[in-house]
């Protein structure tokens, strides 16, 4: 049975059973059971047991991503509300307060860009000014006193 968008119905008995088995397989894996033990307990093949765990993990990733998106949306809405309040305050503010409120708007904009991932990642360049040989960095290492053939053995 397919839903409106061509996806399988999540209320089909087979689907419910598969989700329950996947959840059980994941719980067993979390407790340290091998895939062989999971397969034996559930009466399925090794690849099916692995598939159950993989499916359960994929479902958890999807749920986590959806929850993060929901939280991000809520935080963006809060920033929008605060920004509207700051703009209203700016219209009524004295000249001395406008600079403070402008700084608040800048900080809100920075928060929004970080929240939404709009800023480019910063590139950090690291340069090495002087190179050292391992022997120079650790001159007291006893391996330096041994002949090369002995050290290779």
Please give the full DSSP string across the chain, using - where no structure is assigned.
Answer: -B-TTSPBPTTSHHHHHHHHHHHHHHHHHHTT--HHHHHHHHT--HHHHHHHHHHHHHHHHHHHHHHHHHHHHHHHHHHHHHHHHHHHHHHH--HHHHHHHHHHHHHHHHHHHHHHT-SPPPP-----S----HHHH-TT-GGGGS-HHHHH-
Give the number of residues written for the chain. Answer: 153
What's residue 126's pLDDT? 74
pLDDT average, residue stretch 27-52: 94
Q: What percent of the chain has pLDDT over 90?
A: 56
Statement: residue 150 has pLDDT above 60 = no
What's residue 37's pLDDT? 95
CB atoms under 10 Å from CB of 141, counted, come to 11
1-15, 37-51, 131-145 — most confident range: 37-51
129 confidence band (pLDDT: 50, 70, 90): confident
Give 41-94 pLDDT, tens digit per residue. Answer: 999 999 999 999 999 999 999 999 999 999 999 999 999 999 999 999 999 988
């Amino acid at each position: 049975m397919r839903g409106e968008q061509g996806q399988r119905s999540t209320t089909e008995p087979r689907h419910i059973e598969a989700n329950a088995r996947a959840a059980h397989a994941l719980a067993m894996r979390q407790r340290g059971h091998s895939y062989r033990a999971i397969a034996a307990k559930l009466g399925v093949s090794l690849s099916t047991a692995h598939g159950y765990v993989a499916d359960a993990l994929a479902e958890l990733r999807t749920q986590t991503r959806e929850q993060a998106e929901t939280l991000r949306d809520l935080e963006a809405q809060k920033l929008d509300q605060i920004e509207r309040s700051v703009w209203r305050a700016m219209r009524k503010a004295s000249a001395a307060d406008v600079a403070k409120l402008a700084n608040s708007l800048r900080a809100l904009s920075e928060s929004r860009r970080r929240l939404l991932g709009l800023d480019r990642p910063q590139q950090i360049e690291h340069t090495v000014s002087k190179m050292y040989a391992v022997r120079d960095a650790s001159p007291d290492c006893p391996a330096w006193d041994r002949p090369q053939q002995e050290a290779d053995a």
